[in-house]
């Protein structure tokens, strides 16, 4: 059975640490669906949020192998968590912007910029809802869609 | 405190760590360090003739002594030549520090002369690696490198130092103690799990000790012997664990796995409890996983949590240093376990042993490789360290040499690196100079690092190379015989150098032998002369290593003989 998992990894901010993590996934053929990284404010650590999938045995190995890396401080396998993802998109000005705005609002979003020929919209919500949002957005002929990847925090 | 250059720091760090020997090869990017070596006498530097050999020699030294092996190489090709050595040590968990030169910081990323992304290359084949960015951080990095290499599950650590960093001045405060917040190996095993494991042993009917390389690394053979001796539970050894029990221990069923004994493999297949002490369930041991130890519950003790449950389900996982775990487990087992309980089981296994003992057909016409190894054993058991290369000769050595103690057998298990044996045997000789160092090799393998004859002669490292010369890449030829209808594609090595003259041209002694008498004479002569020697032993071209479990087959389906 293939399971989807969100794993947070707290790592020392040092040279090459991200390659160590991604290299581990690549070398063993593990899957990365999304990966976000940012420093933890006021510390020498960064937090990575990795969305991955695999059988229970694979997930167990991923966790153990992550633990084994020297600069890894902590691996958190989330069970009860809040997940959010952000998406931005560029919509041509010819589209019905009132409808676009209504759609955005339904997904915690907004129009954040209007330029010469396109409007930029943004929404932040649960990853599955963001997926719905993106497919609903298709109707308005988006020129570009950028997703941020998932961030998560324990409840 | 006076400032020091990065190069001086490297040399000082070796002194702080008590390093007595460094194997290496200089070049542009590491010249500052070599210039420091020239000026002092802290440690011996042994110039090998190839970087791969330097790393294997450091590896052999580490395997024989249990200390951290050290090698220095230059950037670019120097480093890439060292990679096979790192990978070999990594697969077998050998403590080692390899220091490489790198182009100056300002030139990194410009495809400079002799630049290569060394830390990128070494990442998957080291326990950890460092690219040093300033001389300031060098003392701490070097101390961490040694600490990481020797602690927890040991392994090689690579430190890449740009040339300008070796010239930079900074303070040298070598940390007396290393503390890494992010790295804390588990030493003590979970007490409840240990108690449960002891109960499982006490309640089992057909338990087997499955002894692995972790026993050697954790120096716990003594405790294992005590445990086996008290419980009277039969034991099998992996290639990496040979020597844990004496060859004549009545509880030892022999080696397990692809070329394991019938009794050892049947014991695994029929057991109701595997007591796995420091093995890693290598596929050369387990064979077909779905058939492996089908009826057994499994206790697995290992310092590396990712090793536990990786391939098979483990019922009693115990993470911890094997020695620390055994110190708790052995007294409990003594209080709980009744050795008479396993009598019927021992009977069964004894019968298997009598039915299919490890054996070969000796001959008067042609030397049998198994005989040669037994002979070496008769003459030297307990007095020599035995290294091997990779192939049939390696398996015969593992099967037929009478090992008496841990660290007596030095071989590349996980990576199976041809060319390992001879340089490793030099490292062994340097590490334990009072013992005889023998490398058992094949006519294929020996040519992969034969240039080290020069190093051995120059530094008086009298290794005796015994070449079991079958004029073939024997192990591959064997597979072609069994599984490819005897299509001997590119395995015929009839075209050979004159090994005797080759040895002599390097300043060593060479022998070519075809009979038992000649072999005895050559070996005695080489031992008494105490020189670098090469004994080219002409053996049966078509001898096969048996028993054999075909790759991916189940352990209980062994080929016991081969009839043409
Ligand atoms: C560096 C390397 N290349 C290739 C192999 C594959 N290989 C395994 S055993 C073997 C044959 C070894 O022949 P030889 O050294 O003559 O020993 P024998 O098997 O005849 O005892 C080969 C080619 C290997 N293990 N290592």
B183 touches chain A (CB under 8 A): yes
pLDDT at B2: 78
For B195, the token pair is 């108690």
User: H-helix or E-strand containing B500?
Assistant: helix B499-505
Give me the catalytic one of B67, B127, B163, B297. B163
**What is the percent of chain A with per-residue pLDDT over 70, rounded to a whole number?**
100
Provide the whole-model pTM: 0.96
Angle between helices B221-231 and B322-336 (to 10 degrees): 20
**Residue B127, strand partner residues:** none
Report the alpha-carbon distance of residue B441 to residue B446 in Å, rounded: 6
Q: Whose CA is nearest to atom 17 of ligand 1?
A: B442
pLDDT at A85: 96
Report the alpha-carbon distance of residue A94 to residue A87 in Å, rounded: 21
B331 touches chain A (CB under 8 A): no
Active site annotation includes B17: no
How far from chain centre, in Å, is Cα B70? Answer: 16
CA dist list (Å): B295 to B195, B227, B290: 22, 23, 11
The tens-digit pLDDT sequence of chain B (564 residues) is 679 999 999 999 999 999 999 999 999 999 999 999 999 889 999 999 999 999 999 999 999 999 999 999 999 999 999 999 999 999 999 999 999 999 999 999 999 999 999 999 999 999 999 999 999 999 999 999 999 999 999 999 999 999 999 999 999 999 999 999 999 999 999 999 999 999 999 999 999 999 999 999 999 999 999 999 999 999 999 999 999 999 999 999 999 999 999 999 999 999 999 999 999 999 999 999 999 999 999 999 999 999 999 999 999 999 999 999 999 999 999 999 999 999 999 999 999 999 999 999 999 999 999 999 999 999 999 999 999 999 999 999 999 999 999 999 999 999 999 999 999 999 999 999 999 999 999 999 999 999 999 999 999 999 999 999 999 999 999 999 999 999 999 999 999 999 999 999 999 999 999 999 999 999 999 999 999 999 999 999 999 999 999 989 999 999 999 887
Report the alpha-carbon distance of residue A16 to residue B47 in Å, rounded: 32
pLDDT at B241: 98
pLDDT at B69: 98
The nearest CA of chain A is from the CA of B118 a distance in Å of 12
Burial class of residue B335 (count of CB atoms within 10 Å of its CB; 0-12, 13-18, 19+): exposed
**What is the percent of chain A with per-residue pLDDT over 90, rounded to a whole number?**
90
Active site annotation includes B475: yes
Our answer on whether the CB atom of B369 is closer than 6 Å to any ligand 1 atom is no
pLDDT at position A135 over 90:
yes
**pLDDT tens per residue, range A69-118:** 999 999 998 888 999 999 999 999 999 999 999 999 999 999 999 999 99
Residue B309 is nearest to which of A16, A60, A68, comparing CB atoms?
A60
For B412, the token pair is 């590349």
**pLDDT tens per residue, range A22-38:** 999 999 999 999 999 99
Q: Note whether A70 contacts B148, CB cutoff 8 Å.
A: yes
Burial class of residue B560 (count of CB atoms within 10 Å of its CB; 0-12, 13-18, 19+): exposed
How many C-beta atoms surround the C-beta of residue B324 within 10 A?
A: 17
Average pLDDT, chain A: 94
Our answer on whether the CB atom of B474 is closer than 6 Å to any ligand 1 atom is yes
Report the alpha-carbon distance of residue B136 to residue B125 in Å, rounded: 27
pLDDT at B41: 87
B305 touches chain A (CB under 8 A): yes
Find which of B122, B183, B303, B310 to mutate to test the A interface (most A CBs within 10 Å of its CB): B183
Q: Note whether A73 contacts B309, CB cutoff 8 Å.
A: no
pLDDT at B563: 81
Active site annotation includes B113: yes
Q: What is the 3-state secondary structure (H, E, C) of B395-421?
A: HHHHHHCCCCCCCCEECCCCCCCCCCH
Provide the 3-class DSSP secondary structure of residue B189.
coil
């Amino acid at each position: 059975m293939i399971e989807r998992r969100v794993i947070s990894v707290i790592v020392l901010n040092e040279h090459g640490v991200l390659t160590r993590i991604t290299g581990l996934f690549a070398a063993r053929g593990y899957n990365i669906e999304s990966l976000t990284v940012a420093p933890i404010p006021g510390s020498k650590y960064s937090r990575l949020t990795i969305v991955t999938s695999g059988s229970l045995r694979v997930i167990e190995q991923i966790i153990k192998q992550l633990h084994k890396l020297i600069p890894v401080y902590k691996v958190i396998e989330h069970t009860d968590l809040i997940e959010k993802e952000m998406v931005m998109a560029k919509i041509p000005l010819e589209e019905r912007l009132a409808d676009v705005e209504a759609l955005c609002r339904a997904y915690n979003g907004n129009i954040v910029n209007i330029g010469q020929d396109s409007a930029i919209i943004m929404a932040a919500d649960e990853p599955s809802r963001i997926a719905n949002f993106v497919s609903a957005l298709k109707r308005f002929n988006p020129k570009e869609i950028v997703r941020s990847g998932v961030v998560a925090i324990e409840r | 405190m006076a400032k020091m250059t990065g190069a001086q720091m490297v040399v000082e760090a070796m002194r702080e760590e008590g390093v007595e020997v460094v194997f290496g090869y200089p070049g542009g990017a590491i010249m500052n360090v070599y210039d420091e070596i020239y000026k002092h006498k802290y440690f011996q530097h042994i110039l090998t003739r190839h970087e791969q050999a330097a790393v294997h020699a450091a590896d052999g030294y580490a395997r024989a002594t249990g200390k951290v092996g050290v090698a220095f190489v230059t950037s670019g090709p120097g480093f890439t030549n060292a990679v096979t050595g790192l990978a070999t040590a990594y697969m077998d968990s050998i403590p080692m520090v390899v220091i490489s030169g790198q182009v100056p910081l300002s030139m990194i990323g410009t495809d400079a002369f002799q630049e290569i992304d060394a830390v990128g290359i070494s990442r998957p084949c080291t326990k950890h690696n460092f690219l040093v960015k300033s001389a300031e951080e060098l003392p701490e990095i070097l101390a961490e490198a040694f600490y990481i290499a020797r602690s927890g599950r040991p392994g090689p650590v690579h430190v890449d130092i740009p040339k300008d960093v070796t010239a930079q001045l900074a303070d040298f405060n070598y940390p007396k103690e290393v503390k890494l917040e992010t790295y804390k190996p588990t030493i003590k095993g979970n007490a409840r799990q240990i108690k449960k494991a002891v109960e499982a042993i006490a309640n089992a009917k057909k338990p087997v000790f499955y002894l692995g390389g972790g026993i050697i690394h954790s120096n716990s053979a003594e405790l294992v012997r005590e445990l086996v001796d008290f419980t009277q539970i039969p034991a099998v050894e992996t290639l990496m664990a040979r020597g844990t029990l004496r060859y004549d221990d009545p509880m030892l069923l022999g080696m397990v796995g692809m070329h394991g004994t019938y009794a050892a493999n049947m014991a695994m297949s029929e057991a109701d409890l595997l007591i796995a002490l420091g093995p890693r369930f290598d596929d050369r041991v387990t064979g077909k996983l779905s058939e492996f130890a089908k009826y057994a519950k499994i206790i697995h003790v290992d310092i590396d949590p990712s090793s536990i449950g990786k391939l098979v389900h483990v019922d009693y996982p115990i993470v911890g240093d094997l020695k620390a775990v055994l110190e708790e487990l052995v007294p409990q087992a003594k209080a709980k376990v009744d050795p008479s309980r396993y009598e019927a089981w021992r009977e069964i296994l004894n019968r298997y042993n009598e039915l299919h003992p490890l054996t070969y057909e000796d001959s008067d016409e042609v030397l049998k490789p198994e005989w040669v190894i037994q002979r070496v054993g008769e003459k030297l058991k307990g007095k020599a360290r035995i290294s091997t290369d990779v192939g049939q000769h390696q398996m015969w050595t593992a099967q037929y040499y009478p090992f008496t103690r841990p660290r007596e057998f030095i071989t590349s298990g996980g990576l199976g690196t041809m060319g390992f044996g001879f340089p490793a045997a030099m490292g062994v000789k340097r590490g334990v100079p009072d013992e005889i160092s023998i490398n058992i090799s094949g006519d294929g393998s020996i040519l992969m690092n034969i240039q080290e004859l020069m190093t051995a002669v120059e530094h008086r490292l009298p290794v005796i190379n015994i070449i079991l010369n079958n004029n073939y890449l024997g192990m591959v030829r064997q597979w072609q015989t069994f599984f490819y209808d005897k299509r001997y594609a590119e395995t015929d090595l009839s075209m050979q150098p004159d090994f005797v003259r080759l040895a002599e041209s390097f300043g060593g002694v060479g022998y070519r032998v075809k009979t038992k008498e000649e072999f005895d004479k050559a070996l005695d002569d080489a031992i008494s002369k105490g020189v670098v020697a090469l004994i080219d032993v002409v053996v049966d071209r078509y001898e096969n290593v048996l028993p054999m479990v075909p790759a991916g087959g189940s352990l209980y389906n062994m080929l016991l003989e081969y009839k043409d």
